[in-house]
Structure 1
Amino acid sequence: MRIILTSVFVDDQEKALRFYTEVLGFVKKNDVPVGEDRWLTVVSPQDPDGTELLLEPSGHRAVKPFTEALVADGIPFTSFRVDDVAAEYERLRGLGVRFMQEPAAMGPVTTAVFDDTCGNLIQIAH
């Protein structure tokens, strides 16, 4: 068994696509109209056939209270692995990304947390 798809709820798919591709560096994999929304996925350019991230519309009534509670409590919705958290932190800050947690060593792992501009906190780790 393998994980082939995971998702983040986003309040605006087009804005999310720009952020996840132009800022984070993912590449668009699928963009299929589904009614008013899209089946919109991105992947890592280092693993184009790997796990896809669905930029899922946040229209369901349960999503807003769920994501707002996570953000209010400072809990990241998901985590991405990077080679060097400090270097990625500096790169993303240079692009205007707002961090909620600067790089912090937590035993063998270093993490940082940023706002994805689409309703989520995202953690990077190495």
Structure 2
Amino acid sequence: MRIYLTSVVVNDQQKALRFYTDILGFQVKHNIPMGEYAWITVVSKEAPDGTELLLEPDGHPAVRPFKTALMEDGIPSASFAVDDVEAEHERLVAKGVKFVQPPKDLGTVITAVFDDTCGSLIQILEEKQQGGT
């Protein structure tokens, strides 16, 4: 069994598409119009055949209160692996991304959390070498 698809719920699919591609650097895998919304997935440029991230519209009545609660409590909706959190933090800040948690060393990992501008917090995470730095 493999993880094929996961999602982040967004309040504006087109704005999210621009953010996740132009700012974060993902590439579009699917962008299929489906009436009011679209089936939009993005993938990592490093793994174009890997797990897809669905930019899911937040139209369901249960979604907005859940998203709001996560945002208010500072809980990320998704976590993306990076090789160097400090460097990625600097790159994204230079592009105008607002971080709610700057890089923080948590022992075995370094994390940072930013606002995706579409209603979700996203964590970036660097795994540290076991037994080393």
TM-score normalised by L of structure 2: 0.94
Q: Which has the larger radius of gyration?
A: 2
CA distance in 2, matches of 1:64, 1:108: 33
- Residue by residue over 1:45-70, the C-alpha shift from the partner in whole angstroms, topping out at 9 and shown as x without a partner, is 00000000000000000110000000
Segments of 4+ moved more than 2 angstroms = none
Which residue number in structure 2 is paired with residue 58 of structure 1?
A: 58
- Deviation for aligned residue 1:106: 0.4
Which residue number in structure 1 is paired with residue 85 of structure 2?
A: 85
CA distance in 2, matches of 1:35, 1:7: 19
- Deviation for aligned residue 1:13: 0.5
TM-score normalised by L of structure 1: 0.99
Which residue number in structure 2 is paired with residue 3 of structure 1?
A: 3
SS of 1:21's partner is helix
- Deviation for aligned residue 1:33: 1.2
Percent identity reads 65
CA distance in 1, matches of 2:62, 2:118: 16
Which residue number in structure 2 is paired with residue 122 of structure 1?
A: 122
CA distance in 2, matches of 1:112, 1:36: 34
CA distance in 2, matches of 1:9, 1:122: 11
For 1:17-28, what aligned pairs fall within 5 Å after superposition? Answer: 17-28=17-28
* Aligned CA-pair RMSD: 0.4
Which residue number in structure 2 is paired with residue 42 of structure 1?
A: 42
- The residue type paired with residue 14 of structure 1 is Q
Aligned residues: 126
